[in-house]
Amino acid sequence: MPRIFLAIFLTLTLSLPAFAKSKHPHPAPVNATLGDKWAAKTLRSLSVEEKIGQVFMIWCRASFLNVESPEYLQWIEAMQKYHIGSFAMSVHVDGPFLLRTEPYEAAELLNRLQKESKLPLLFAADFERGVTTRLMGTTNFPHAMAFGADGRLEDAEMFGRITAQESRAVGVHWNFFPDADVNSNPANPIINTRSFGEDPKQVGDLVTAYIKGARSGGMLTTVKHFPGHGDTATDSHLGVASVNVDRAHLDTIELPPFRQAIAAGVDSVMVAHVTVPALDPDPNHVATISTAVVTDLLEKQLGFKGLIVTDALDMAGLTHLFANDIGRAAVEAFKAGNDLLIIPADLGASYASILKAVRSGEISQVRLDHSVLKILKLKGGLGLNKTRTVDITTIATAVGKPENIAFGQQVANSAITLVRDTGKVLPLKSKGTTKAGLPYMTKEETHNQVVAVLFSDDVRTESGRAFGRELRTRIPDARVIYVDPRIAAGMSEDVLKAVDEAQTVIAAVYVIPTAGKVGNSVGMADATGTLLQQVLDHAAAKTAVVAMGNPYLASDFPKIENYMCTFSNATVSEVAAIRALFGEIPIRGHLPVSIPNIAQRGAGLERPAQVANGGSPNAQH
């Protein structure tokens, strides 16, 4: 008998891992028809009020929250009162600071919300640079345009696969990416480096590769911002952006990447708050509320059968049209053909307006069911009807894998593009390392032999920190000066004095598209721009300018003699820039965009690595 009990005990013990795995299966590739029967059955069981809740998505700011915290209780109320069916996971912000959280905290919160919901929830996120955009400890990737400079489709596919793996591990199923915009306007303040480039074919190919990788990892994908936000000069978060081109231009520039994405099986298309006179001449019809754009063009002409989602409904590009009846924006967007309404400016008013429109017959039951069924099929296709929570213990093995982190760095390295080089400044020469000392007893001495001036929107942010650390690893006495628009004028005298005394100057400029920034621009039309011009006036011949983001920067500063682009301000791009400046890696990137009066798309001066064995022993690899 003891032997029998022992055998039973061992059998049960050894089978426990199998039970655990069956409870939380590994995310499989997206299967569009997996949950069709469940979706149809569920639809029939829902009330009108519950169906309307499924077509709304609201914010979920991930962090640790007590079950009785007001913020958490608001989400519970939204699910109970408005039957919300999906959340856009983000994190809290404090002015210019994005308060990223930990993967475990995010996963625990999403699991908790899943358990509170009657139906499985869809969680989406803006993981444009991978999960690292919102969560710490995850793989760091550069902006999309860096993948354009890198040029390898297999890298874009791997980008999608790694993002899917990490995203699904924390309970996020759907990424609002890739960006199919063709950035044909250098003055575009909101797309810029978020786009893969200016060539429709390359953009479409990279978009397709990303979709393939992401869907193989079980993550839903979104192409945006339909019908194209690349040729605009306004941030639609702040006002109405207009695409003032004819239909022929749309067919040859803006629309081809979307056509490729649809052919590749993209799960959803996000519609932008932009006016497109060639498609809809009504000046009050942004694409989001235009039947001509959503139903006629996207569904009928392009043949898209997947989920159509709005850009955030709280953006000024839309809300200014409905200032006196904010709930009406949701009705008009839904009537235009959108299936999912994201981030309404006023959830209560928007829900009530949709409900009123359905009850009055303005929106038919058939039309409502059409969209709700699409949403339920997506949930079923992910298997959420069977397993809606994630196994938090897998985060330690799925997130932040060393090989994935190394891959993110590799892409950033490959993207480095040298546009101008006199041969007199680069490569820089390393002086070795700082001598080791006792904790709290070391003192860094700085000199003006090598001066780095790091320009950013706000010196309190992380911009330039990794750049400065990596520089001082190689030149311990380098002088690193941080400036932003508030302090640049007051520091100009000291900066120029240091520049005049220096043998070599590095000017690293952190300018990236920032949603909703007042006075949004990807230029330097402020005190920092004035200071950069003064630096060039004093020392252009000995200065290397590194565009840590916006590559078009050089158009405004024709005196630049040595010019390098990273297309991103991500930490991996900072490390790559330093390694390239010191000749530790080969430079082989090529411009995915044309820089007016400077260089054409495809340009790039290639350089072999100048330092044996891939760099100094202290370089970060």
Q: What is residue 177's DSSP assignment?
A: -
Query: Edge-to-edge strands of the sheet including 122-125?
Result: 174-175, 122-125, 86-90, 56-61, 341-342
Report the pLDDT averaged over residues 421-444.
76
Q: What is residue 560's DSSP assignment?
A: -
**Contact criterion met (CB below 8 Å) for 350 and 326:** yes
**Contact criterion met (CB below 8 Å) for 394 and 606:** no
Query: Looking at the DSSP assignment, which residues form a beta bridge with residue 135?
Result: 101
| For residue 445, pLDDT beyond 70 | no
* pLDDT tens-digit series, residues 299-356: 999 999 999 999 999 998 898 899 999 999 999 999 999 999 999 999 999 999 999 9
Catalytic residue among 181, 311, 339, 484: 311
Q: Residue 505, class by beta-carbon neighbours within 10 Å (0-12 exposed, 13-18 middle, 19+ buried)?
A: buried
Q: Residue 616, class by beta-carbon neighbours within 10 Å (0-12 exposed, 13-18 middle, 19+ buried)?
A: middle
Look at residue 22 in the predicted model and tell me its pLDDT.
Answer: 45
**Contact criterion met (CB below 8 Å) for 211 and 546:** no
Look at residue 619 in the predicted model and tell me its pLDDT.
Answer: 38
370 is a catalytic site residue:
no
Distance between CA 299 and CA 292 in Å, rounded?
10
Higher-confidence position of 199 and 614: 199
pLDDT above 70 covers a percentage of the chain that reads 89
**How many other CB atoms are found less than 10 A from the CB of residue 470?**
21
Look at residue 621 in the predicted model and tell me its pLDDT.
Answer: 35
Report the pLDDT averaged over residues 227-249.
79
Distance between CA 150 and CA 326 in Å, rounded?
44
Q: What is the largest CA-CA distance in the chain?
A: 92
Check whether the bond before 586 is cis (ω within 30° of 0). no
The secondary structure of 400-415 as a DSSP string is S-HHHHHHHHHHHHHH
Q: Which residues contact 575 (CB under 8 A, 6 or more apart)?
A: 409, 412, 466, 470, 620
**Domain 416-434+442-614 homologous superfamily, CATH:** Glycoside hydrolase family 3 C-terminal domain (3.40.50.1700)
Report the pLDDT averaged over residues 519-539.
83
Q: What is residue 486's DSSP assignment?
A: T
Report the pLDDT averaged over residues 127-146.
97
Pick the range with the lowest mean pLDDT from 5-14, 337-346, 482-491. Answer: 5-14
311 is a catalytic site residue:
yes
pLDDT confidence of 12, banded at 50, 70, 90? very low
Report the pLDDT averaged over residues 430-435.
71
Look at residue 434 in the predicted model and tell me its pLDDT.
Answer: 56
E strands, 117-248, where? 122-125, 174-175, 222-226, 241-242
| For residue 57, pLDDT beyond 80 | yes
- Average pLDDT of the chain to the nearest whole number: 91
At residue 355, φ and ψ (nearest 5 deg) are -60, -45
Report the pLDDT averaged over residues 158-167.
98
Residue length of the chain: 621
Report the pLDDT averaged over residues 470-492.
96
Q: 3-25 burial string, b = 16+ CB within 10 Å, else e?
A: eeeeeeeeeeeeeeeeeeeeeee
| For residue 521, pLDDT beyond 90 | no
| For residue 439, pLDDT beyond 50 | yes
**Contact criterion met (CB below 8 Å) for 289 and 329:** yes
Catalytic residue among 83, 143, 225, 237: 237
| For residue 16, pLDDT beyond 50 | no
Which residue type occupies 104?
Answer: Y
* pLDDT tens-digit series, residues 164-183: 999 999 999 999 999 999 99
Which residue type occupies 319?
Answer: T
Look at residue 189 in the predicted model and tell me its pLDDT.
Answer: 79
pTM of the model: 0.92
The secondary structure of 317-374 as a DSSP string is HHHGGGTT-TTHHHHHHHHHT-SBEES-SSHHHHHHHHHHHHHHTSS-HHHHHHHHHH
pLDDT confidence of 441, banded at 50, 70, 90? low
Tokens of residue 366, six digits: 């058939």
Distance between CA 516 and CA 181 in Å, rounded?
18
**What is 25-403's CATH number?**
3.20.20.300
| For residue 17, pLDDT beyond 70 | no
**How many other CB atoms are found less than 10 A from the CB of residue 189?**
23
At residue 20, φ and ψ (nearest 5 deg) are -65, -40
310: nearest Cα among 282, 281, 327, 290: 290
CA 557 to chain centre: 28
**Residue 133, helix vs strand vs coil:** helix
* CB hemisphere CA count around 237 (13 angstroms): 13
In three-state form (DSSP H/G/I as H, E/B as E, the rest C), the secondary structure along 43-87 is HHHCCHHHHHHHCEEEEEECCCCCCCCHHHHHHHHHHHHCCCCEE
* pLDDT tens-digit series, residues 563-607: 999 999 999 999 999 999 999 999 999 999 999 999 999 999 999
Query: Looking at the DSSP assignment, which residues form a beta bridge with residue 414?
Result: none
Look at residue 14 in the predicted model and tell me its pLDDT.
Answer: 42
Report the pLDDT averaged over residues 368-382.
97
- According to DSSP, the β-strands at 341-342 and 274-275 are unpaired
Distance between CA 374 and CA 40 in Å, rounded?
10
Domain ranges of the chain: 25-403, 416-434+442-614
